[in-house]
Each structure stands twice: as C-alpha cells, then as structure tokens.
Copies of this chain bind each other. A is one copy, B any other.
Amino acid sequence: MDDLDRQLLGELQRDATQSYAALGQAVGLSAGGAHERVRKLRGQGVIRRTTIEVDPSAVGRGVAAFVLVEAQAWMGAPSVRAALEALPEVVEAHIIAGPATLLVKVRTATTEELQTALRHLFAIEGVSGTQTIVVLETFFERPLSTDVGEG
C-alpha cells in the first residue's frame, strides 16, 4: 500500500472503465504492472467491488433523510441489522455515540414514502422514538479521498 497504489485507487474511483494502459500511463507504469497492482488490491480487499453510481431521482429515490433512532434496548443485535437490511429505503445504518443509538440514512421517492419508512423503523423491536432530518439539497456525495492524512 504505497503512494502508487493510492494513485491507482484514485484513478479507478474517478473512472473504473478506463483501460489498464491508460491507468498505467496515469501513474507512470506499464499496463501489465498496473494490472498486477490492481489485482493485488482486489485480493487484499482494499478494492471491495466495482460498481456504478446511479442518479437517485431516476430510480425513484429523490428524497433523502437521516433518521436518529432512539431505543430502549441494545440495537447492536444481528436481528436489528437484518430488520434494517430488509428495508430497501434504508441505504446506510450505523450504531452511534450521541443523542441516539442508531443513525440510518433513508432514500424514498416522496415524503409520503418517507413516512412509510419511518413507520417501518418504529416497527423494529425496542425502538422508542425517531428524530428525522430531511435533506433539502445535497451539495455532494463523493468517494473517499485516497490522499494520506497527517500520518
């Protein structure tokens, strides 16, 4: 995991369709060398998968909201996780420290569907309340920078 690998990750995040020849040229490597490094990054699990970014509004997911879920029970159980995964509107779920125990990101077509999603969240065992933060405008959602931080 050196600087060349990070450059490769950045290039692939930007455009994963480019050829290994172009990829190698971008970082100063032959096509074969670039291919070998990318293969290893996949093997190590650094690259989890190759995927596409879809326009949310084009597939009926134009409304976004973050929901803070308050609970009277421990929410780290696998059953809770499974219940959240079963809801297609839920795109992220995190156990958090702070005013609530669970934070989920929800995407729906309309605010009416958002309400339906909230009802489904309430139906999960132990949930005692929710606080919903509706997104008015998304500035950006981007892949993580592969630059080194301070260390």
Contacts and interface: CB of A to CB of B under 8 A. Distances in A.
Interface stretch (A25-33, A94-102, A120-128): A94-102
B97 A136 contact: yes
Report how many copies the assembly holds.
Answer: 2
A149 B108 contact: yes
Nearest to A82: B139
Interface string A36-71: 000000001111111111111011110010101000
A108 B150 CA distance: 10
Contacts of A150: 109, 113, 116
A44 B58 contact: yes
B58 A140 contact: no
Contacts of A147: 88
A9 interface: yes
Interface in A1-27: 1, 6, 9, 12-17
Interface of A: 1, 6, 9, 12-17, 44-56, 58-61, 64, 66, 68, 76, 81, 84-85, 88-89, 91-99, 103, 107-110, 113, 116, 131-151
Given A17-B50, A94-B138, A103-B135, 13 more contacts: A13-B54, A14-B51, A16-B50, A16-B51, A47-B55, A51-B53, A61-B144, A81-B140, A84-B139, A88-B147, A96-B135, A97-B133, A98-B132
